[in-house]
Amino acid sequence: MINKIKEAGFKTVRIPVSWGQHMGSASSYTVDEAWMDRVQEVVDYCIDNGLYVVLNTHHDDWIVPTNSKKSEVEPKLKKLWTQIATRFKNYDDKLIFETLNEPRVQGSAEEWSGGTSETRAVVNSYNKVALEAIRNTGGNNAKRAVMMPTNGASGTDAAINDMVVPNDGNV
C-alpha cells in the first residue's frame, strides 16, 4: 500500500494512531511494546520509501478538553508523548508529530464550531503539555516539526484567535 501511495505521487502520509486501548493504567500509562513496534514498522515503511510522515494521537476519546478532565488527561498525555517521542527521537525531519487530532467535546453543541472559551484554553494546555514532553526527550525532537490543532481543528475566528502556540524557541 505504501508503494502505491508513493507511485501515485504523494509525498506525505498521515498515520492516525489510537493509543488509549494500548496503554497500561496509571501512573506509568505504558504503551504496549508490540503496538509501539507496529507503529514504528509502519513509520519505517513510509520513511524508507522517501515519504514524510505525520504521526498523531487519533480517536483517543480519553482526551476530553474540559477543566473537569484536565487533571486526569494531562499526566497521561505527557507520558504518552514522552514514550512516542523517545521511540522516534533519532528520526530526521521526515517525521512530524501532531499532538492531537480534532480535540473537542464530542456531542456538544460547539463540537465543530470552535468550542467554548474553556475548551479552547484546555486544548492550548494539552498542546503545551505534549510539546514539552516531546522536546524534553532530546535528540532530533529538540527541533522537530510539531503540529498543534485548535479546538476541533476548527478554522473559526474564535478558535484561531484563542490558539496559543507555545513559545519553545522553534516557533
DSSP label at residue 90? T
Percent of the chain with pLDDT over 70: 99
pLDDT for 171: 59
Q: Distance between alpha carbon 125 and the CA centroid of its chain, in Å?
A: 13
pTM of the full structure: 0.96
71 vs 85: CA distance, rounded Å: 22
d(CA 171, CA 64): 26
Query: Residue 123 corresponds to which cell in the numbers above?
Result: 486544548
Average pLDDT (4-25) is: 97
* Contact status, residue 103 vs residue 63, Cβ threshold 8 Å: yes
Pairing assessment for the beta strands 12-17 and 52-57 based on DSSP bridges: parallel
The rounded mean pLDDT for the chain is 96
What pLDDT, in 10s, does the model give residues 65-76?
999 999 999 999
pLDDT in tens, 115-135: 999 999 999 999 999 999 999
Of the candidates 70, 93, 78, the one whose C-alpha atom is nearest the C-alpha of residue 137 is 78
Burial of 60 (0-12, 13-18, 19+ CB in 10 A): buried
For the residues 20-39, what does the mean pLDDT come to?
97
